[in-house]
Structure 1
Amino acid sequence: MNFTKIFLCLPTRYTTFTALKGKAIMTKLNELKKHLKRGKVYRRTELTKWSKSVDRHLEMLLEDGTLQKLSQGLYYYPKESAFGAIPPEEEALVRSFLKDDRFLLTSLNLYNSLGVGTTQLYNIRTVYNHKRNGEFQLGGQKFSFHVKHHFPKKLTLEFLLVDLVNNLQKLAEDQEEVLKNVSSKVQTMDTKKLEDSVLEYGNAKAKKILLPLMNRKEQLKHAS
């Protein structure tokens, strides 16, 4: 038996085997890519539907720039524009993180639209939800998650005012001055809608402050 000949053939066979294995991996990777949609955020667990070697494929997708890692177990397939990759939409980011559609995305910055004297800007978004508490960094953005039993599906002017009073201690502005402006703001708002929001979403402090203001408004209305 010519052992030298067999030995010389081994590298060629090994190279062929490695090439075939590499080709199979790339084929599976390309099959996985076909399922990905630009602009969508994916959890690692979602990708297991299309890959039996998800960790290896994730490593390759991150390396070739197909996916971006947003946080542990969370990935983004970016949309492209003439100016480069477009960041993920905040709602898509939060939805994938929570694995739930029931949340309200807001910010202390939105209080500035009420005209009650708040002007400070904050670099963190607030997420009311039914699952998670705590601060998390997702895709380079800071989110503060708060479990709350009741919150509206969409932001309203009334909810924002109630939410401001709920979070008065978090504001950088003078609280007494803000409350004076809140008192004036209440006079211009729909009493029924505001009352519903206070009763549904207000904490004890918000109810103590806002309900008397609305009662006073109604008393003045009937007295005139």
Structure 2
Amino acid sequence: MTALNDLKKHLQPGCAYRRQDLQRWSNSVDRHLQQLVKEGALEKAAGGVYMVPRETRFGLAPAALETLVQAFLKDDRFLVVSPSAYNGLGVGTTQLYNEPVVYNLKRHGRFKLDGRMVDFRRRPSVPRALTQEVLMVDLLHNLDRLAEDRAEVLPRALRRARTMDPGKLRQAAHDFASARARRLVDQAVAA
């Protein structure tokens, strides 16, 4: 068995790998990566990050964004949020956004993963799951970045926040948000 075939047998569809992850199965990782990309067995998703396309009934599809982010960060402590999810809160937002936000403990900035821009924002702590309370705190934290009129969205958001679990809302704000967003949450809960 050749070294390239040995490397291929370790690759799983829908998975993402860092270059150094693949070194243990290859004696010439750069050459093998180049060959695998050329033949379509691997795709380069970012600098040093490769993914194995997965087969769907519609053809080949990239690895899930969460899989790519985990390989890119070398960490599983992150939260992917699409600002489009704010539309589900019922506060009058209707815009669709193409750039997901990744809250994490390591990287900050905009990076391209598999041809798609992703906004990485570093935080001292990151919630494990995207709950309605975390999403509301994120909306309040990012009011100035919204395409909608802040003056129209804020009162609706505060009214909606009052219907949520105040303990979970305060905890999300404390763990995750800016001082301004924490004040807005306190204002909503106190009313």
The reply to whether residue 143 of structure 1 matches residue 121 of structure 2 is no
In the alignment, which of 148, 154, 158 is matched to residue 173 of structure 1? 148
Q: Is the 8 A contact 1:70 1:139 kept in 2?
A: yes
Change (3 A) 1:199 1:72: closer
Match of 2:93 in 1: 118
Q: Deviations over 1:128-186 (max 9, x none)?
A: 11110110110122111111012210011111111111111000111011011012212
For structure 2, the residue ranges without an aligned partner over 5 or more in a row are none
| Partners of 2:47 and 2:56 in 1: CA distance | 26
| Partners of 2:188 and 2:33 in 1: CA distance | 56
Change (3 A) 1:60 1:202: closer
List structure 1 runs of 4+ shifted beyond 4 angstroms.
Answer: none
Match of 2:133 in 1: 158
Q: Relative contact order (alpha carbons < 8 A, sep ≥ 6): 1 or 2 greater?
A: 2
Deviates more, 1:98-107 or 1:184-193: 184-193
For structure 1, the residue ranges without an aligned partner over 5 or more in a row are 1-25, 217-224
Match of 1:89 in 2: 64
In the alignment, which of 52, 57, 66 is matched to residue 32 of structure 2? 57
Report the CA distance between 1:82 and its aligned residue: 3.3
Question: TM-score with structure 2 length normalisation?
Answer: 0.94
User: What is the percentage of aligned positions where both structures have the same residue?
Assistant: 48
| Partners of 2:123 and 2:158 in 1: CA distance | 26
- Structure in which a larger fraction of residues adopt helix: 1
Question: TM-score with structure 1 length normalisation?
Answer: 0.81
Deviates more, 1:175-184 or 1:88-97: 175-184
Change (3 A) 1:82 1:108: closer
Question: Rg larger in 1 or in 2?
Answer: 1
The reply to whether residue 44 of structure 1 matches residue 19 of structure 2 is yes
Match of 2:180 in 1: 205
| Partners of 2:122 and 2:176 in 1: CA distance | 13
Q: Is the 8 A contact 1:198 1:211 kept in 2?
A: no
Deviates more, 1:128-137 or 1:63-72: 63-72
